Structure 1
Amino acid sequence: MQRATRPLLALGLLTALNFLNYIDRYILPAVQPLIKREFHPSDTALGALTMVFILFYMCVAPGVGFLADRKSRKAIMVIGALIWSGATLLTAVTYSFTSLLIRHTVVGVGEATFSLIAPAYIADLFPAEKRGRILSFFYLAIPMGAALGYIIGGALGTRYGWRAPFYVCAIPGFMVAVWFYFAADEPLRGESEIALHTVQRTTFRGLLRNPAFWTATLGLAMMTFAIGGISVWMPTFLEREKGIPLDRANYYFGLITVVDGLAGTAVGGWLGDLWLRRSRGAYYGISAISALLALPGAVYAFYGHPAWIFPSLAVAEFFLFLNTGPLNAAIVNSVAAPIRATAIGINLFIIHLFGDAFSPVLIGAISDRSSLRLGFSVTLIAMVVSAFILFLGTRFAPPRAHERQLAGALA
């Protein structure tokens, strides 16, 4: 195989691993009502399943990012994929709520090891001006995997028990990880970009004073708060408060997620790269606008007539997914290659610390005292805050390629 095809092969295999990653992650919310019937936890405790996963995920991220900027990223990603695939098989021996918590913790460690390095690795395969579309392709795995997780979880869980769906993605995870290790190359750090070596973009100390990085990170944190809370509790909300059978609720929510996710992520990546030709703040601007456009659909889905819940969810999810490619491209473009994996590790720590580490628990706690309908209100506030931060970020976006070339020539 010619080396010219290697970037596309690596992108395809990493996307496949990300796809399996998100199937595994979203089976859990699909089977939460079944877990509740077996172990009888409160809604707060159910939300803690996601919180424990995210806490370990985000605590591992900075250290793994630091290591990945110095060692083989390919090897570290493969180790992470093997860890979460193996932990998924441990579902067979989870016969208490505590053992389920432990299993979910190990999955979080493995998924963090893979997920934070992949964007930095991909960024070194493709130039900055294509990263909106390229990362949109990689992140198509989120809606596709999430949708299949809901559908598989709902279909197999109600028929064969809540443990059965987790086995579906474990063996393919092992196989794709090994294939990637032997088929993909390790790109040079910074191979695909024209560098403008500012202190803010190339050093850890400079990263702390990098407003382009921090506005993108905090904006994404608020989006993660909203999306994480909605994705964990929506199947339960549809069954409990709308009276929709669990398998049907998961099927339709999964179908909406995959269609909207594919369309929104693809359109967002294309629009972001197109707008970037006119404005360096394009990735921030389109993400802010999409957060605001998601609000009306979300409000009606939570509080409107039950007959319109699925169309309303479809509108909200389309705009929530629209920012996936642009916002992640903004983050990788805001830092230079030598510290990119470290920066993404810090980014993951922050977005989960202020995002989905506690939004499911907060929504569950509100539900225990009132209702899920009221609990979802906190996600609407997060969308507004995200839009405000990202509009600020348009002022701090990094230079585009031709601007870096000009700056380099004048230096």
Structure 2
Amino acid sequence: MDEHIIEWILLDIQKYFKLSDGDTGLLQTVFTLCNMLAAPVFGYLGDRYDRKIVLGAGIFFCSGVTSSSFISELHYWIFFLSRGLVGIGMASYSPIAPTIIADLFEEPKRTTMLSVFYLFLPVGSGLGYVLAAGMAGLSDWQWAFRITPCLGGLALVLLLLLVPHRTQGRTAAHRALSISGTIQAAAEKPGVHRTARTTWCHDVISLAKNWSFVWSSLDLTAMAFVTGAVGMCVPLFLYRAQLVQGTVSPCLQETCNSSNSSNILVIL
């Protein structure tokens, strides 16, 4: 929801801050770049520290900086900065949340739980379109930015209360015992050698030679690029097409009609 929040009310944001089309596109570019650069950092922290604390800090940070609805129209650069900070906070979700789920559940439930998690990513985005459009119709567009921090706070409370501590440590211990047993069994067999530890650069080079991994990554990148561009640009495009056809009037003073944001949900 935080990622796609500006797409729901893009017309109102553009009118409020008096942004050009280039500046409007830069909003999502800042978010994406900050999210992309921060994700490996959170992945590094999640492998070395308590994942529950790292994820909780990311949720708290993201929920705090999402409250950008109180920014004056004269300080639009703060709004751009807040979008970048939201991207940094959201970077904690993707690397850490699936690993916590994997630690909590063993096979065969693990795959099912991860499927539910990934299922609700597009569901949450779709519901966000409807929610923000409804809030913009009832009040003003700023209220869309005041709902998601409340949901983030609820997620933080549930994380602290329901997710147990030491799951990561227990899982690591089980894996260590498993690896130890495998090495011991391999050492007893003639002709079987132990697997040596490899460096980070060696692992990256090995992945780069795995064409299945490379093409899957490129395919996912292309899909994210297309769906992101559609979600960002099509609502504004549909609105301008309706202006040319004379089916809607320009939203000069009142809140802009956000029905196109709901229509784009069907396209996505």
Q: What is residue 30 of structure 2 aligned with on the other side?
A: 52
Q: CA deviation at 1:129?
A: 6.4
Q: What is residue 111 of structure 1 aligned with on the other side?
A: 90
Task: Please show how residues 255-404 of structure 1 align to structure 2 within 5 Å.
Answer: 256=266, 313=267, 317=268
Are 1:91 and 2:69 an aligned pair?
Answer: yes
Alignment coverage as a number of residue pairs: 235
- Give the alignment partner of residue 249 of structure 1, picking from 254, 257, 260: 260
The letter for the 2-side match of 1:253 is: I
Cα gap change, 1:55/1:90 in structure 2, threshold over 3 Å: closer, same or farther? same
The CA distance in 1 between the partners of 2:128 and 2:154, in whole Å, is 19
Cα gap change, 1:224/1:199 in structure 2, threshold over 3 Å: closer, same or farther? farther
The letter for the 2-side match of 1:51 is: T
The CA distance in 2 between the partners of 1:158 and 1:199, in whole Å, is 61
Are 1:140 and 2:119 an aligned pair?
Answer: yes
The CA distance in 1 between the partners of 2:19 and 2:31, in whole Å, is 17
Deviations 1:117-155 (A, max 9, x none): 112222333457665543231122222221222122222
Q: CA deviation at 1:45?
A: 1.2
Are 1:72 and 2:50 an aligned pair?
Answer: yes
- Give the alignment partner of residue 121 of structure 1, picking from 100, 115, 119: 100
The letter for the 2-side match of 1:58 is: M
- Give the alignment partner of residue 187 of structure 1, picking from 144, 167, 174: 167
The CA distance in 2 between the partners of 1:203 and 1:130, in whole Å, is 32
Q: What is residue 152 of structure 1 aligned with on the other side?
A: 131
SS at match of 2:128: helix
Q: What is residue 240 of structure 1 aligned with on the other side?
A: 240
Normalized per residue, the structure richer in helix is 1
Q: CA deviation at 1:70?
A: 0.7
Percent of residue pairs identical: 28
SS at match of 2:123: helix
Cα gap change, 1:130/1:43 in structure 2, threshold over 3 Å: closer, same or farther? farther
Cα gap change, 1:179/1:159 in structure 2, threshold over 3 Å: closer, same or farther? closer
The CA distance in 2 between the partners of 1:213 and 1:38, in whole Å, is 44
Instruction: Assess if the C-alpha contact under 8 Å between 1:147 and 1:253 holds in 2.
Output: no
Q: What is residue 374 of structure 1 aligned with on the other side?
A: none
The CA distance in 1 between the partners of 2:236 and 2:112, in whole Å, is 34
Instruction: Assess if the C-alpha contact under 8 Å between 1:200 and 1:207 holds in 2.
Output: no
Q: What is residue 253 of structure 2 aligned with on the other side?
A: none
The CA distance in 2 between the partners of 1:132 and 1:233, in whole Å, is 35
Q: What is residue 219 of structure 1 aligned with on the other side?
A: 219
Q: What is residue 34 of structure 1 aligned with on the other side?
A: 12
Deviations 1:220-276 (A, max 9, x none): 11111111111212222222225676322223333x3xxxxxxxxxxxxxxxxxxxx
Which ranges of structure 1 fall in alignment gaps of 5 or more residues? 1-22, 257-312, 318-411
- Normalization by structure 2: what TM-score? 0.76
The letter for the 2-side match of 1:209 is: S
Q: What is residue 62 of structure 1 aligned with on the other side?
A: 40
The CA distance in 1 between the partners of 2:232 and 2:18, in whole Å, is 17
The CA distance in 2 between the partners of 1:226 and 1:85, in whole Å, is 27
- Normalization by structure 1: what TM-score? 0.51
Q: What is residue 271 of structure 1 aligned with on the other side?
A: none
Q: Which has the larger radius of gyration?
A: 2
Which ranges of structure 2 fall in alignment gaps of 5 or more residues? 184-193, 249-256
The CA distance in 1 between the partners of 2:159 and 2:7, in whole Å, is 29
